[in-house]
Amino acid sequence: MPVTPRNILFITTDQMRFDALGCNGGSIARTPNIDQLANNGINYQRAHNQNVVCMPARATIMTGQHVASHGVWMNGVCLPEDEPTIAHHLQAHGYQTGLLGKAHFEPWLGAPENFFENRMAALGSTGPHRGFDHMELANHFFEGHSHYDAWMQSHQTDKDQFYPMVTNRGQNTASRGETGALQVWPMDVPTELYHTHWVADRTINWLSGLNQNPFFCWMSFPDPHHPWDIPRSELYRHDWRDMPLPRLYRDTHEARLALLDHKPKHWRGYYEGTIWSNLESPRDFVPASLTPDQIREINAYTHIENELIDDAVGRVVAWLTTNNLIDQTDIFFTTDHGELQGDFGLMFKGPYHVDALMRLPMIWQPAKNANLTPATIQAPVGHVDLAKTFCQIAGIAPPDYCEGASMPTTNDEANAQDRQFQLTEWDSEHGPIDMHLKSLCHKDGWLITCYEPSHLYDGSEGELYNLTDDPDQIANLWDHPKHRETQQELKNLLYESLPEPRSPKLARVAPV
């Protein structure tokens, strides 16, 4: 019997931690609208990305493939424009497709003449592109070539209000904050002109113009990614002076070093500023220089950004409800990757395969006419599973290129699928330093990360954690004699499960 296709609203943030939300144990940001999605639907407690930075993670979402398969191995590596995506597939089966907000399938620092995303606004184009009938794009700041930037210029907004990320490239430690924390940048921009509000507005506008066909709408918020640049009028929400320090932050420099010395050397190298292995962190930033108050201020801004996202989600869900679409619309909420946010004394993201970056909020509120019961699921799921899940909702067979599996809606279904693990990959080249990490997070509570040969490592190093006993990933058991057999079994499973890398290797064509 054919399945009646349902609408899909796919909501993503950029750089949001699992524990940012009240439904996942967060106690600071107030997120009632997203929490309600979890209460009404399925909350996946062990969702992982397949890469911990933007472009590879988003390529996995778009293709349903592991990083090795789609080949977007780091930021600045572009999925070819003619590559088929799940948006193309849904479009071919009658779905109206739109993306409002951050895309980042192409490098945002790439020249507009080379990348269509970066010249769309100047051309007055809203697509089609990459399987989306309609795209209106925004980024974290005013780089000058997104639809949001053009809209802000039409509202005569002073570009100097925005953090100078592009003009300060390589020296991104500027601050307007009270503590001098880098990239804290309150703006005298009204909330209704802020990009979070704009993304919700453009989503509602696009949905309002649709006909009766089912839709696939990707509402993609640029926040809570740095720079932390909220409207000044929103500062009342959280005083940084009241912020607790992260649980995985240690009070003294010596204690932070002791924590880092359980891990491979690039962890401490990043903290001390001696090893720069990630373009996501400013080249001149030394995490050891962060003061506790600066961490508090950054985190206060992050929680405010998350609350603004929640407000925007609430507006769109209310619109669906008012327009009698909520009963036939499945709503997903997730992010591309997390943020260290002071854990281990570190900030931003990079080649660090820990919960702060790998573990995702992942919520699915099924359409009411799907007749699915709310559930909390512990089985491992990932970005790689989303494409096939969208196809299941649409009642169509997934394309042959998709990997992963449809996400379970009950714990019994998860057991029947025999979900064992999720894979996460990292490859990067920054100047003379390359890094190659491969991780497997197992349903039995083990997380293994193998460090492949590079300029920093000879291939014998790694990390092994028992997440049941050590959920904070503090005690690295890699060299523990008692766990050698477990390490070898997990390592074998990891390399048996990784797909063959795409060949030829895609070129890095621009910075992030």
Task: Provide the pLDDT for residue 492.
Answer: 98
- Are 237 and 304 in contact by the 8 Å Cβ rule? The answer is yes
Tokens of 338: 């997390």
Residue 351 to residues 31, 108, 329, 435, 476, Cα–Cα distance (Å): 29, 21, 37, 7, 16
Domains of the chain: 7-167+175-233+291-419 (3.40.720.10)
For residue 1, what pLDDT is reported? 41
Q: Three-state secondary structure along 213-251?
A: CCEEEEEEEEEECCCECCEHHHHHHCCHHHCCCCCCCCC
Closest CA to 39 of 342, 338, 306, 333: 333
pLDDT of res. 281: 87
Other beta carbons less than 10 A from residue 367's beta carbon: 21
Give the per-residue pLDDT at 167.
Answer: 63
- pLDDT number for residue 2: 52
- Tokens found for residue 227: 């720079």
472 burial type by CB count under 10 A (0-12 exposed, 13-18 middle, 19+ buried):
middle
Rg (C-alpha) for the chain, rounded Å, is: 22
Question: How many angstroms separate the most distant Cα atoms in the chain?
Answer: 65
Measured in degrees and rounded to the nearest 5, phi and psi for residue 29 equal -65, 135
CA-to-CA distance for 318 and 177, rounded, in angstroms? 34
Which amino acid type is present at position 197? H
Q: What is the pLDDT of residues 245-261, one digit of tens each?
A: 999 999 999 999 999 99
Q: What is the pLDDT of residue 308?
A: 98
Q: Which of 15, 60, 22, 24 is nearest to 362 (CA)?
A: 24
Predicted TM-score of the model (pTM):
0.97
Low-confidence stretches of the chain (pLDDT beneath 70): 1-3, 166-171
Residue 498 per-residue DSSP state: S
Residue with tokens 């950029």, as numbered in its chain: 14
Q: How far apart are CA 318 and CA 371, in angstroms?
A: 21
Alpha helices in 283-323 (DSSP H): 292-322
CB 46 within 8 A of CB 478: no
At 349, the amino acid letter reads K
Q: Which of 339, 359, 333 is nearest to 12 (CA)?
A: 333
Give the pLDDT of residue 169.
59
d(C-alpha 330, C-alpha 259), whole Å? 42
pLDDT at 284 (0 to 100): 87
Say if CB 473 and CB 354 are below 8 A apart.
yes
